[in-house]
Amino acid sequence: MLQTISLLMENKPGALMRVTNLLSQRLYNIESLTVARTLDPTLSRMTIVVDVDSTLRRQVIKQMNRLVNVLQATDLTEAPAVSREMVLLRIRVTMETRTAILKEAEIFDARVVDSSVEGFAIEATGDPEKLNEFIDVMRAYGEIEVTRSGMVAVSLEAKKLKLSAPVPAGAEASLQPVR
C-alpha cells in the first residue's frame, strides 16, 4: 500500500535530496513528490507518495525527522487528512465531440483553461481515483496528453510543532538551548 508522507522542512539546497535519499537507498520508488514554499519563505512543505515496506514505515519517518533540515515528518496514510491532485490535460477534439467533452468536464468539475479549433486544455482537481476516471473518460474521446501534479495533502489534526531554540556558538558554550 502506498504511504503518504508530509514534511515541513527548511527551504535550503540539498534538503530535498536528503529526504529522497532515505527512500532511494532502499530502492523505493517515489510515486509522486510535490514541494513548495510555505507562508514562511524559509520553509517548504513536501508531500511524498511512496510504497514503503509496512514494517519500515515508522523507521523511515523517524529517520526523516532526524534530518537536520526537517522540522517535522508525518505519516498521513492513516491519519485524518485531505489529499488532492491536479491534472492538466490536452485533448484533440473534432467539431462533433466538442459539446460532449465539455459536458463530461462539467460532470468532473473540471475547467477548460484553453480552447482552440484543435482542442481543449482542461484542468481538473480531486482525489487521485477520481482523476483516473476523468482521464479514462477523456481518452475515449480522442488523443490526450496528461500532466499530473502529484498529490498534495494536508493533515486535519493540528500537530504541535516543536522547534529548537537557538544555542550559543563555540566550544565553551553549553549544549543547552537558551530559554
Partner 1 sequence: MSLQLKLGNGENQQMPTLMSGAKILLECLVREGVDCIFGYPGGVTLPLYDAMYDHPIRHVLVRHEQNASFAAEGYARATGNVGVCCSTSGPGATNLITGLVDALMDSIPVVAITGQVTSKLIGSDAFQEADTFGITRSCTKHNFLVKNIADLPQVVHEAFYIAKSGRPGPVLVDITKDVFSGQGQYAPVSAIHLPGYKVFTEGHTGQIRRAAQMIWEAERPLVFGGGGLVASGASAELRELVEYLDVPAVLTLMGLGALPSTHRNFISMPGMHGGYAANMALSNADLLIALGVRFDDRVTGRLSAFAPHAKVIHVDIDPAEIGKNRAVDLPIVGDLKRVIGKLAKVAKELEPSESGKNRAARAAWWGQVRSWQEAHPLVPATSTSEIKPQHVMREIDRISCGEALVAVDVGQHQMWAAQFIRFNGPRQWMASGGLGSMGFGLPNAIGVQFGRPDKLVFAVVGDGGFQMSIPELSTIASYGLPIKIVVVNNGYLGMVRQWQELFYNNRICAVELDVFPEAEKLAAAYGFKGRTVDRVEHLSSALEEAVKEPGPYLLNVRVSPTENVYPMVPAGAALNEMVLEPPRPVTVPK
Least separation in angstroms between CB 13 and partner 1: 8
CB-nearer residue toward partner 1: 95 or 178: 178
Nearest to partner 1 of 17, 113 (CB atom): 17
Does residue 44 come out as left (phi exceeding 0), alpha (psi in the -120 to 50 range) or beta?
A: beta
Helix (H, G, I), strand (E, B) or coil at 27: coil
Please check whether residue 89 is in contact with residue 138, taking contact to mean a CB–CB distance below 8 angstroms.
yes
Nearer to partner 1 among residue 147 and residue 164 (C-beta): 164
Of the two residues 4 and 69, which places its CB atom closer to partner 1 in the complex? 69
Distance in Å, CB of 67 to partner 1, minimum: 7
**Shortest distance in whole angstroms from residue 42 CB to partner 1:** 9
CB of 77 to partner 1, least distance (A): 18
Q: Where are the beta strands (DSSP E) in 3-160?
A: 3-10, 30-37, 43-50, 70-75, 81-92, 111-115, 119-126, 144-148, 152-155
Compute the least distance from the CB of residue 114 to partner 1, in Å: 36
Q: Is 45 helix (H, G, I), strand (E, B) or coil?
A: strand
Of 42 and 116, the one with the shorter C-beta distance to partner 1 is 42
Q: Interface with partner 1 by CB under 8 A: which residues?
A: 9-10, 13-14, 17-18, 21, 25, 58-59, 62-63, 65-72, 162-172, 175-176, 178
Q: Contact at 8 Å (CB) between 91 and 100? A: no
The cell for 123 is 484542468
